[in-house]
């Protein structure tokens, strides 16, 4: 809902973001349409990601931190057998594996990703290092090594597993990188993997 008074807009717009568009591009477009700089989003969604992107306008931007701290639900698909430098379909392949985990093998290891766990963010992320975005440094082939961060996974289930692909659903807390989760699930299964589909609900 958006409330306006003499061209001052305050409120939220819930965008169903398309794949291929960055969260920042969505913010910039809305800022241009409404002719205001006071626009922000309630949690970055990867460029390949689709789904819920809350956009705060005007005074609502003061509530962004509150929204970001809420649990988030994602569905995602892992392609087995290949790791990429971005941990998703947009990156270049780094390593390959012939191992394809079966359904029982996947279900057995999922419990190890529930609760408060350590996660190393992807090098292609918006994390700042000495004032510069990690993805900007990665694109320049500058070596990056992020430290593990504590995240919380409340629920993680396997929906389908077939041939080279597996569908998952996760409910997680602030700061969780689903791409990194997919990478680590694959590593736990002694194979490689990356995200090819991601949707926030």
The residues annotated as belonging to the active site are 46
Q: Are 177 and 183 in contact (CB under 8 A)?
A: no
Q: Which two tokens stand for residue 54?
A: 């809350």
Q: Which two tokens stand for residue 99?
A: 């191992």
Select from 63, 178, 58 the least CA-distant residue to 121.
Answer: 178
Q: Please tell me what DSSP assigns to residue 88.
A: B
Q: What is the distance in angstroms between the CA of the first residue and the CA of the last residue of the chain?
A: 19
Other beta carbons within 10 Å of 38: 16
């Amino acid at each position: 809902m958006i409330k306006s008074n003499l061209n001052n807009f305050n409120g939220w717009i819930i965008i169903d973001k398309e794949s291929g568009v960055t969260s920042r591009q969505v913010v910039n477009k809305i800022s241009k349409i409404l002719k205001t700089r006071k626009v922000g989003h309630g949690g970055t969604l990867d460029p390949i990601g689709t789904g819920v992107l809350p956009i705060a306008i005007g005074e609502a931007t003061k509530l962004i931190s509150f929204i970001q701290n809420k649990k988030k639900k994602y569905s995602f698909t892992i392609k087995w057998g290949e790791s990429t430098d971005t941990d998703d379909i947009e990156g270049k392949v780094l390593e390959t594996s012939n191992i394809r985990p079966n359904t029982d093998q996947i279900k057995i290891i999922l419990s190890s990703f529930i609760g408060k766990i350590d996660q190393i963010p992807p090098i292609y992320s918006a994390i700042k290092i000495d004032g510069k975005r990690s993805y900007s440094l990665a694109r320049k082939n500058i070596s990056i090594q992020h430290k593990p961060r504590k995240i919380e996974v409340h629920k993680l289930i396997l929906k389908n597993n077939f041939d080279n692909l597996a569908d998952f659903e996760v409910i997680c807390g602030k700061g969780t990188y689903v791409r990194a989760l997919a990478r680590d699930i694959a590593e736990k299964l002694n194979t490689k993997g990356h995200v090819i589909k991601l949707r926030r609900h």
